[in-house]
């Protein structure tokens, strides 16, 4: 699997730098774009939060946690602190629930900022607090699955400075060790784990 670098390691490094510079260019370039309703890009909490007066009369997307239901009020964090708005007409605007909004719900609202502290809701999405937690847990699970498979099936080849598939798969136990942060993955030549009694917590 150790075929030659077509452009040498220097050429490869140069290619990687070009890719990363181009990517940075995209991240900066997109950051330089302001909100633009003609491109369906609406300001969010990080833009509106520090300067709500500047967006009165504009369509915005604000998301936050419901702190009160009479009237419905959401609070959100932004770069300069926290802000809150009263959301009008939210129950009719909610797209994904039939029940009224409750305190503690996470609410994402598209609408017009009719005053610096009032949002006239047009479309809204409600999530219960556990739903976000569920998503994080399940997402972490997906991430660790992929990481585990990657460690199991690839190794870093120090002569070619590149990842290559392992010839033999790591033992499940070795993967657990690497994931737990103890020791690094053995390279192909090394044997997996000497099965010493008393080591490891799986018995």
Interacting residue ranges for another protein, rule: CB under 8 A: 1-6, 12, 15-16, 19-20, 22-23, 26-33, 36, 39-42, 46, 59, 61, 63, 79, 95-96, 108-110, 123-125, 127, 131-132, 134-135, 138-143, 145-146, 149-150, 153-154, 157, 160, 162-166
Q: Select 141 or 199, whichever has its Cβ closest to another protein.
A: 141
Please confirm whether the linkage preceding 85 is cis (ω < 30° from 0).
Answer: no
Q: Please give the sequence-ordered ranges of beta strands (E in DSSP) within the chain, or none if there are none.
A: 59-69, 72-78, 81-88, 106-115, 118-127, 154-157, 162-165
Q: How far is the CB of 105 from another protein (least distance, A)?
A: 12
* Structure tokens given for 33: 């774009």
Q: How far is the CB of 63 from another protein (least distance, A)?
A: 7
Strands 81-88 and 118-127: parallel
Q: How far is the CB of 126 from another protein (least distance, A)?
A: 10
Strands 118-127 and 154-157: unpaired
Q: Select 153 or 199, whichever has its Cβ closest to another protein.
A: 153
Q: How far is the CB of 88 from another protein (least distance, A)?
A: 15
Q: Which residues of 68-87 are buried (b: 16+ CB within 10 A; e: fewer)?
A: eeeebbbebebeeeebbbbb
Q: Select 146 or 180, whichever has its Cβ closest to another protein.
A: 146
72: three-class secondary structure by DSSP: strand
Which residues neighbour 5 within 8 Å (Cβ) at sequence distance 6 or greater?
A: 11, 12, 160
Q: Select 42 or 73, whichever has its Cβ closest to another protein.
A: 42
199: three-class secondary structure by DSSP: coil
Which residues neighbour 106 within 8 Å (Cβ) at sequence distance 6 or greater?
A: 63, 64, 65, 66, 126, 127, 128, 129, 131, 132
Q: How far is the CB of 58 from another protein (least distance, A)?
A: 13
Q: Select 166 or 176, whichever has its Cβ closest to another protein.
A: 166
Q: Select 134 or 199, whichever has its Cβ closest to another protein.
A: 134
Q: How far is the CB of 139 from another protein (least distance, A)?
A: 4
């Amino acid at each position: 699997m150790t075929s030659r670098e077509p452009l040498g390691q220097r050429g490869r490094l140069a290619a990687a730098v070009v890719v990363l510079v181009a990517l940075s260019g995209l991240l900066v370039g997109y950051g330089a774009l302001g909100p633009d309703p003609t491109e369906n890009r609406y300001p969010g909490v990080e833009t509106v939060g520090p300067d709500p007066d500047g967006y009165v009369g504009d369509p915005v997307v604000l998301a936050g946690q419901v702190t009160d239901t009479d009237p419905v009020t959401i609070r959100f964090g932004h770069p300069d602190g926290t802000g809150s708005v009263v959301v009008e007409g939210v129950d009719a605007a909610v797209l994904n629930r039939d029940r009224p909004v409750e305190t503690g719900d996470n609410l994402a609202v598209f609408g017009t900022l009719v005053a610096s502290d009032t949002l006239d809701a047009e479309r809204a999405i409600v999530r219960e607090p556990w739903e976000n937690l569920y998503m994080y847990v399940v997402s972490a699970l997906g991430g660790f699955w992929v990481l585990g498979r990657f460690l199991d099936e690839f190794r870093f080849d120090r002569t070619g400075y590149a990842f290559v598939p392992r010839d033999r798969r790591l033992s499940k136990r070795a993967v657990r060790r690497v994931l737990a942060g103890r020791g690094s993955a053995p390279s192909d030549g090394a044997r997996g784990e000497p099965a010493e009694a008393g080591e490891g917590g799986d018995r």
